[in-house]
Structure 1
Amino acid sequence: MADETLSRELEPRVEALGFELVELEQAGSKQRPILRLSIDRPDSKAGEPGVSLEDCTVVSRALEPWLDQREGLSDRYVLEVSSPGVERPLVRPRDWERFAGAVITVRGRDTLAGRARRLEGTLLGLRGENQDTVALRIGDEDVEIPLGDIERGNLVYRWERGQKR
């Protein structure tokens, strides 16, 4: 689980570089922490190339001087910056809106929409007065799932026969 303060501090720094912070994962030990940042372009689309290795290098090099000076972080930290991948996680409310129309999977803590713990369908976006319900089309039926019931959501990428991996 990531430190929320660190995530809040990193987010504007990543955005200033022209990217968005998708996720921050902290691993390792207190003496040698590992910070894993997943970044994306704010205008990326499902199934299209997102960030490059060069983009990850730019973000890493830009953040290191700040992290080197940050109180409470061991000077032996390891920073890993990567793309969220083709099956990008849906983390923030804006993700659920931006990727409307894409095929996604959602996994719940318990059964979702009276069906199963894991569902796959076409994302329709957020609904509800507080934008706190995910609308999903499964087959020819639309279901709504409270955002709080979703443990994890991500895009689904379908490999085409003969496509290079």
Structure 2
Amino acid sequence: MTATPSRISELTPELEQIAAAAGCELLHIEIRGGTLRLVLDRPEGITLADCEHVSKQVSALLDVLDFGKSRYVLEVTSPGLDRQLYRPRDYERFAGRLARVTLEDPETGKKQTVVARLHEYRPAPEGSPEDAAEVVLADDKTGEHRTVRLKDIRLARLEIEL
């Protein structure tokens, strides 16, 4: 078996169970080159021991499934200080924090990156698709607020503030 995105999707529930059993949440799974990267989180933060424990459990699962027929590297990590925002609830959790947000205009495909404060997350109205949610960004310099659709955000990453 090889580390294909479809195979990882099939394994996601088992990977989430392993993380949950360790008191963690599996935020993200990424396959790049020969690396399978799992990003873990929990409110009080991730320790090296958490990463080590989950890594051993996942490695054992992958060995049982003959995942290693093609060479791969398993990387289990925390999101870090400049963490990427993956899910809608991340925007709620980090409201008030400064972030670097890359937006894509749905009509032109043009991308724009802004550094702004995550002022507010507005969930999709009831009965609307989840991607109808909005994020309000606040410019610290001008005080202006800008509302963007969550589905137009290509990448959002917290900025480190000193």
Q: TM-score, normalised by structure 2?
A: 0.76
CA distance in 1, matches of 2:85, 2:13: 17
Cα RMSD for the two superposed structures:
2.3
1:1-165 to 2 correspondence within 5 Å? 2=5, 3-28=8-33, 33-41=34-42, 43-44=43-44, 50-70=45-65, 73-75=67-69, 76-110=71-105, 117-127=112-122, 128-129=124-125, 130=128, 132-139=133-140, 140-158=143-161, 160=162
> Residues 157 and 11 of structure 1: is their aligned pair in 2 closer, same or farther, counting only changes over 3 Å?
same
Worse-superposed segment, 147-156 or 121-130: 121-130
* Percent identity of equivalent pairs: 38
Check conservation: 1:99, 1:125, Cα contact below 8 A.
no
Residue pair 2:62, 2:68 contacting (<8 A) in 1 also: no
Q: Output the CA distance in 2 between the equivalents of 1:54 and 1:70.
A: 24
Give unpaired runs (5+ residues) of structure 1: 45-49, 161-165
* Structure 2 gap segments, 5+ residues each: none
Amino acid in structure 2 at the alignment position of 1:148: K
Which runs of 4 or more aligned residues in structure 1 lie more than 2 Å from their structure 2 counterparts after TM superposition?
1-9, 73-78
Residue 68 of structure 2: SS of its match in structure 1?
A: coil
Residue-pair matches, total:
144
Rounded to whole Å, the distance in 2 between the matches of 1:51 and 1:62 is: 16
Taking structure 1 as the reference length, the TM-score comes to 0.75
